Amino acid sequence: MSDLSNIKTDIENYAKDSNLTELQIVEKLENHFFNKKVNENLKLYKKGKKKVSEITKDLKISPRKFYAILEQKKIKHKTYNKNK
């Protein structure tokens, strides 16, 4: 529990020094660690060691959002045409 209190005090001190609120700092940290996890999974996806379904379960996102991330980072992937 002391580790968590240390983190809380660090966030509060950082909030005092910067013009951000505690929630804004936590959101930025969340985005940072989410992007870090996405990049790790993208490396495995490029090598063919991890499938889309496994990645979406790990990241807790929808496949549609994952494909949007792939297109945003300009990574080739299969597209399926639903219209026949």
- How far is CA 18 from each of CA 12, 24, 25, 32, 55, rounded to the nearest angstrom? 10, 11, 10, 18, 35
Distance in angstroms (rounded) separating the CA atoms of residues 11 and 5: 10
- Tens digits of residue pLDDT in 4-62: 899 999 999 999 999 999 999 999 999 999 999 999 999 999 898 999 899 999 999 99
Question: 8: which 2 tokens?
Answer: 């809380």
pTM: predicted TM-score of the whole model, two decimal places: 0.78
Q: In the prediction, which pLDDT does 1 show?
A: 63
Going by the DSSP 8-state scheme, the letter that residue 49 receives in this structure is S
